[in-house]
Structure 1
Amino acid sequence: MTEDQEADPTLVRNQPALRTSSGRIWLVAGGVFLVLCAIPLTLVLMSPGAARPMAWITLIATMLLYAGMIAVRLGAADHARRLRWLAVLMLGMAVVALAGLTVCTMIAWSRVP
């Protein structure tokens, strides 16, 4: 990597959240994201239907990824590696939640006459 690339603040790897953060903001953002994902999943769980198992799987997987974020934040010694892992786990939460909610919606809509 050249010196110009390292000084360029627009590069993804040069963002402050991946360089200077303590990791607390990732936990806050992940917790808010988990709550926001849990709301529609809880609504699916409260309604009868075939989408309930998928909602459980999605909710549990999202909670496990958040627990992984907590474990990484508390356990990882290398600062840069810790922040990268927190970002990856947050993206994983987003992918799991989006896929799970999409499948729940497809299941629910497949029952509509």
Structure 2
Amino acid sequence: MSDARDKETGSAAHGTDPTKVTHQPALTTSAGTLWVVMGTLLLVVSSVPLIGLIALRSGPVRPVAIAAGVLMLAFTCVILVARFAVQRGPRRLRIMAASMIASAVVGVLGLLICLGIERG
């Protein structure tokens, strides 16, 4: 079954459907500044509970919180390096998006592991 867009322009059939996630400006033509800002904001917001765990807890929670914080910082650094070292285009934006997603996943998993250690 095809939609009207296929019949009129054929764009969806040729892989240039502008409604696909991979064709959004944030992943195709953006300069990457938004990824830098949002990645840094994610790091700052996620650091608050991690720093609290590092400062106020001891035992096995502390190294997990430190590791999560260091990994998140590393992924944020990848975003910054990609912004200035990789040629403008979809490749740079995908690297930045993947790094931000990885940073968020590490932050959530790190906090969940710390929670499990505290409750265990």
Decide: shared fold, TM above 0.5. Answer: yes
Which is higher, the Rg of structure 1 or of structure 2? 2
In structure 2, the partner of 1:9 is: 18
8 Å contact from structure 1 (residues 58, 100) kept in 2: yes
In structure 2, the partner of 1:63 is: 73
Q: Distance in 2 between matches of 1:95 and 1:10?
A: 26
Q: Deviations over 1:30-87 (max 9, x none)?
A: 0000001100001101112320110000000000010011111110015110011111
Equivalent position to 2:34, from 17, 22, 25? 25
Structure 2: where are the runs of 5+ without partners? 1-9
In structure 2, the partner of 1:87 is: 97
Percent identity for Structure 1 against Structure 2: 32
Aligned-partner SS, 1:3: coil
In structure 2, the partner of 1:105 is: 115
In structure 1, the partner of 2:47 is: 38
Root mean square deviation, CA, Å: 1.3
Q: Deviations over 1:78-106 (max 9, x none)?
A: 51100111111011101111111110111
Aligned-partner SS, 2:58: coil
Aligned-partner SS, 1:49: coil
Q: Distance in 2 between matches of 1:108 and 1:28?
A: 32
8 Å contact from structure 2 (residues 28, 90) kept in 1: yes
Structure 1: where are the runs of 5+ without partners? none
Q: Distance in 2 between matches of 1:40 and 1:48?
A: 11
In structure 1, the partner of 2:82 is: 72
Number of paired residues? Answer: 108
Q: Distance in 2 between matches of 1:85 and 1:38?
A: 22
1:64 aligned partner, one-letter code:
A
